[in-house]
Structure 1
Amino acid sequence: MLFLPELLKDWPCTVFGGEFRINVNGVSECSSRVQEGFIFVARKGGRMDGLEHIKEAIENGAVAIVVDRATLQVDSINVPIIQVPNCQKFLAYASAQFANNPSKRLTMIAVTGTNGKTTVTHLIGQLLQKLGIQAAVIGTTGCWIDGVKVEADIPEMTSLPAEFLHPLLATCEQRGVSHIILEASSIGLASGRLDACDLDIGILLNIGLDHYEEHGGKQAYIEAKKQLISMVNTMIVNEEDPLCMQMIEGATVPITYFGEHKIADKIAPNLNIPFPGYYNRLNLFAAMSALILLGYRIEELIPHIASLRLPEGRLQRLERDGVTVYIDYAHTPDALQAVLQTLCGVCYGKLITVFGCGGERDKGKRKEMGELAVYYSSNVFVTSDNPRNEDPSAIIADILVGFGGDCSAIEVVPNRKNAIRQAIFSAAPGDIVLIAGKGHEKTQHTAEGIFPFSDFDEAKQALTEKTYIDIKDLNKG
């Protein structure tokens, strides 16, 4: 509980009407989450306007309303109206205050980049755990403390809204966690979800094609990522990504670089890295760089490298009767190319790819992902990903443009379950099936609703049902 004037004393605002000298218990931008004694932040979002939900918020117990526009008619509202310059920033500030600012006492590491955020955060968490440090990883796959997923009332988002994030940080602190590693998405940075976090280390992995349309273009996307540089005490940057190097020009915080030569030449040449691929090596080096910046020596890290594991849905492997299936979250051109290149290097038979593209997301990447899939794969099954409210056939049509006309190696199977089954049933011993795009996800978003769906479970079932006919037996017949 906080005294409202005390909460607002350091925040620029103007207060209209209602009783101002009151105690408040919490803050939310969602009217349905408002409880007795809460402040309701009536923020204007991309699809909804909080002003339309003030009545519901007051009915649920809101004792004050925060706005950042002067268009609100206050005559009919009997609680104080607090006008601030920016609702998003106020929400982050107030959320931190109500949680007693846990980020000030925790060691906070934020990882951004188009690809690899989940992998790098989990690798850092694993390394810290092996070194006896209690750490929490927060991001796309939820919240994990010491490698165990925590059941928490939080949305499935890469970067949590501030009203969820700060209470979760407080919970982690209460459970003895000292280090937090979190994913910082471009949307999360642009919308101010991390504004009130005291961040110690930031990591910039790469910049690729994703979320351009949501930000209004490539440069706006880059500027959103770039915000992290001004929010941290020190940065770790991929020296092998030209855009990353451009982004840090003029940075006023200390910069540490990672890449093949920054760490590779300092470790044993026969180091056993337990997962394949150039980009996973870079992800590992980014994670090791964070540990080195925290004061650990490379010699302390090397004994633990072989036991590291990729997170769920990242090159997650299944195998039966000589057929190998990989489930991977690759949903951008860069990520898809990286995983296809990696699997080409270990595939001795056919490489069969199952993928689609998400609806209501960047349409520009669909054609490019189609081109990459057919270039690297022997066969491609084009299917639905999370079409959301977009017509799945229109998404598939955009992908097919990348194939450049008729191609016998391409098969369109809109139903994702059927596409996975057909791909696996078509595979012979020595073949690899890649199921790309959804990775760890347990649901599929369609215009009809959100339904349970797991690529891993569907692949496992298909492998179980797959049968092989011995050619010798056929010949005998």
Structure 2
Amino acid sequence: MLLSELIKDWPCTVLQGSIRQTIRGLSESSARIEKGYIFVVRKGRRLDGAEYMEEALENGANTIIIDRTNLDLSRIPTDVTVLVVPDSSLFISYASAKLSGYPGEELTIIAVTGTNGKTTVSHFIGQMLQTVGKSVAIIGTTGIYVNGKLYKTIEDSLTTMPAETLHPLLRECAERGVTHVILEASSLGLEGNRLAHCPIAIGILLNIGVDHYEEHGGKESYIRAKKRLFTLSKKMIVNEDDLLCFEIGKEMTVPPIYFGQNHINGEQQTLEIRIAGKHNEINARAACCALNALGYTIDEIQPLVSSLCLPAGRMQKQSQHGIDVYVDYAHTPDALQVVLAALHDEEKNILTVFGCGGERDRDKRPQMGAIAAQYSSHVIVTSDNPRSEEPAQIILDILCGTTGFSTPIDVFINRKYAIRYAIRKAQYGDIVLVAGKGHEQTQQIGNDILPFSDVEEVKHALNERNSDNDYS
């Protein structure tokens, strides 16, 4: 596409060069730039694209997009076009959609946001739509699934992928005959305009917790990011049992559709949901509400619910030696509490292994320590993804919340050893919960991203225990 065609409906100012450039693609990452690409300079939370302009030019960029006029452009060759736009992130979204031929308009797109439950609800909706004969793609934390099979993993494990990769993927989906796409919409993705030019038929607001307050600079900014989904969606579905969500729903000019523990679309509905945990019953109701909003009756939806199954890393169970081991992604206070409450209903001893991620909301650490100590018979505190923080300090923050509880607590900085210790310690009839990482296949320690899977480590630990018993 010619640059002149791409920008004809977008406000911009030409600082240098020709708008007759032929554009083959665009990116905000200099490493992904190829010959004939636009390099979009965007200032992020940690990095500034302005520092990578030379690398982008070396890789073949013929156009530079900026949204600031105070940048030094003296080293940009005169045959390279430079444009100023009001907002680089919005331009990326707009241009990506246009270069891909607006594929979202050929699809029915459902976007799910919330602190907890996005992945589960997305997969529940996908499973039910498949059962009624629709071709479905799910794009989110655990990867990209087409009709229930893993199609691709998501780069950098982003919950909501950047617009520059989302729209080409939507084009692939449309060409593969997909009719419905379910997206996980993170607060950071919404705030960063990743979905700004993605036509959303139905948006779903599940809940609002504390996990990302710090990343957004406070509670109000986090809530404001979530509210963006209302402006992008033709219809909104809101959890009436979450007070914050309910209050946000009342602010909207177009009233949302509500669901709750006993209600779907404002009417009391009894559904036979056979999934462990009250939180997953709520997740199933949210999914049912989405199908209802698509035009399916409750009578048509009810038979679909009985075959729902949880996605990878959500209450994923392995059992040996009379011990049940669950791996769950619960990495927020709310999520940990609902998972432990669900397991607590079984009236068995619970050994909980968990940690907290580095460079994330610090206030949640003692809260999660208290929740683990309250519901567990034994707590093993360990590392999650410490990133650049000192793992021992994160653990100390967690332990601050465990004071006042008589629950035995052990500490293993090494997560592998923590998992193996818990499974060795467990007795016949006990439950072990390994929480925090779920489906993840890596662990980030400092700048190193190392292979690590809770599911695989549990499997190894159970096999080790079996070997030990063979010689006992």
Per the TM superposition, whether the score is higher than 0.5 is yes
Tell me which residue corresponds to 1:207.
208
Tell me which residue corresponds to 1:34.
33
Counterparts of 1:232-247 in structure 2, within 5 Å, are 232-247=233-248
Tell me which residue corresponds to 1:385.
384
Contact 2:419 / 2:458 at 8 angstroms: preserved in 1?
yes
Q: Which amino acid aligns with 1:275?
A: I
Residue 167 of structure 2 is aligned to residue 166 of structure 1? yes
Q: Which amino acid aligns with 2:343?
A: L
Contact 2:274 / 2:306 at 8 angstroms: preserved in 1?
yes
Tell me which residue corresponds to 1:446.
445
Contact 2:237 / 2:258 at 8 angstroms: preserved in 1?
yes
Tell me which residue corresponds to 1:327.
327
Tell me which residue corresponds to 2:396.
397
List per-residue Cα deviations over 1:152-190 (Å, max 9, x = no partner): 574411000111111111111111101010000000001
List per-residue Cα deviations over 1:89-131 (Å, max 9, x = no partner): 0001111111111111110100000100000000000000011
Q: Which amino acid aligns with 2:7?
A: L
Contact 1:330 / 1:439 at 8 angstroms: preserved in 2?
yes
Mark the CA change 1:469 to 1:185 in structure 2 (over 3 Å): closer, same or farther. closer
Tell me which residue corresponds to 1:113.
114
Q: Taking every aligned residue pair, what percent have the same amino acid on both sides?
A: 52
Counterparts of 1:216-365 in structure 2, within 5 Å, are 216-263=217-264, 265-267=268-270, 271=272, 273-348=273-348, 350-365=349-364
List per-residue Cα deviations over 1:17-36 (Å, max 9, x = no partner): 11222211111000110011
Tell me which residue corresponds to 2:4.
5
Distance in 2 (alpha carbons) for counterparts of 1:406 and 1:234: 46
Q: Which amino acid aligns with 1:253?
A: V
Higher mean C-alpha deviation, range 52-61 or range 403-412: 403-412
Tell me which residue corresponds to 2:86.
85
TM-score (norm 2): 0.96
TM superposition shift of 1:261: 1.9
TM-score (norm 1): 0.95
Distance in 1 (alpha carbons) for counterparts of 2:423 and 2:466: 10
Length, aligned pairs only: 467
Distance in 2 (alpha carbons) for counterparts of 1:443 and 1:361: 17
Mark the CA change 1:451 to 1:152 in structure 2 (over 3 Å): closer, same or farther. closer
Extract unaligned runs of 5+ from structure 2: none
Residue 22 of structure 2 is aligned to residue 23 of structure 1? yes
Distance in 1 (alpha carbons) for counterparts of 2:249 and 2:297: 26
Mark the CA change 1:169 to 1:321 in structure 2 (over 3 Å): closer, same or farther. same
Mark the CA change 1:103 to 1:469 in structure 2 (over 3 Å): closer, same or farther. closer
Residue 137 of structure 2 is aligned to residue 136 of structure 1? yes
Counterparts of 1:174-189 in structure 2, within 5 Å, are 174-189=175-190
Distance in 1 (alpha carbons) for counterparts of 2:15 and 2:370: 58
Extract unaligned runs of 5+ from structure 1: none
Other structure's SS at 1:23 match: coil
Distance in 1 (alpha carbons) for counterparts of 2:354 and 2:468: 28
Kindly report the root-mean-square deviation, in angstroms, between the aligned alpha carbons of the 2 structures: 1.7
Contact 2:377 / 2:407 at 8 angstroms: preserved in 1?
no
Q: Which runs of 4+ in 1 moved over 4 A?
A: 405-408, 467-470
Contact 1:439 / 1:455 at 8 angstroms: preserved in 2?
yes
Contact 2:434 / 2:454 at 8 angstroms: preserved in 1?
yes
Contact 1:154 / 1:164 at 8 angstroms: preserved in 2?
no
Distance in 2 (alpha carbons) for counterparts of 1:152 and 1:409: 39
Contact 1:200 / 1:232 at 8 angstroms: preserved in 2?
yes
List per-residue Cα deviations over 1:220-269 (Å, max 9, x = no partner): 1111111111110010000111100111233123411001221494335x
Other structure's SS at 1:248 match: helix
Contact 2:142 / 2:153 at 8 angstroms: preserved in 1?
no
